[in-house]
Structure 1
């Protein structure tokens, strides 16, 4: 083989090596860039969906709260109809069970408890002594029925409903532990929006399906945590989109797609094969020189 042909072979071999290296580099770069871009687009799409869900909640909030209140008042009205003025045959227990109530208290016109279930120690005490002062509005004929402000506890929301008695002057009061008030407060909004969503109202974080945000109390706290962590949690880097609807701040996170390990391995192997072929061609060309 002539020297010109040998040089030509060597040139071809090195050209193949350079081509393989460029191909590998471009493929790896494409994996990284496309993974990041698609994650950002997915986060924005998730945010858009969450914003629509929050807006619908705002539009329906008056109806949701009205449904909650009406449901409790209906239970109170039904209990008054069932009550016969006596506790014969466990009547109070039957009424409480039928309503799904934790307790029931019957008072006279002055607000003193005359009957109670299951805590009979409430009998003989005033509304104030039984922590039911709000229902003085009924004994004073200001209103005929009402519910107390729900109070959040570890067991759920505690809420009481009071209705004017029909058999005599006084009040029938039912006490509930009612998780449905979470719907009124929007505490399940994130579940309706999807995975990895954070929803704050004002300065308070009210709902989330994003695990790293569950120990945050506000939008500011979550943003600081994400910034300090470089948007990386449990070894995963996230794209996080932020938006707002009225006084609600919304975050939607999507995990960035990492480089495909199998694809990279194939590229490395292919690259190695090209290098080996190139070396072999070079060695063969050198011997024939």
Structure 2
């Protein structure tokens, strides 16, 4: 097992926003590349454990805080369109690919990051050689969807786009109380949904629904069946509609939303499933 190194830096978007990036690697030449795509209100530093495990099986791992998240510039939890997320991913991936042009590139996305990962992969179908989603936000729970639609129906996304219409309850992310407390105590976590973000997310979901039956890239979809934030039916729909020859769906009974923050034995099981799926593609 090689020593995992890491570095951090900022890149600038085309509209001049500073984006915080983190890369994990070892001295050995990597076998493949993977981008880690975090969820709404959190940031990329939550993925150190997964990143280190990925480096140890031969990956060069990189991630950034989405615009308006963590240490990146932008209004917290706000975009007009999800292309503001995907454009930075393409930019970051292009920069890494310059150094490693011949290596396969994968993407992992959790929650909102799962929706972003799928949006990116369906926008440029040849860029990623595999996609992993964890509790992707590609179908809302009924209550959340109704809340957003009521506000959107009153055109509040134009009048008060920054208005917070919903808060993520920390107890919904994990059954592990230590991880919930860590989430609550992190000053860079902003657990709420704004009206305009909700409108942008609904547009993203519509695009994904339209593109789902044309998906052909390999993917692994992971979801807890006790996820009260992102409906498990979204992952089932993805698996059923996609035309991919290599596709796998794993549903974990009783698991909450953040699979990699569940109690230790359970999150290790999820991490092992991720590593095994990737190993099959790079060895």
Please tell me whether Structure 1 or Structure 2 has the larger radius of gyration of its CA atoms.
Answer: 1
Q: How high is the TM-score relative to the length of structure 1?
A: 0.19
With a CA cutoff of 8 Å and minimum separation of 6, indicate the structure with the bigger relative contact order. 1
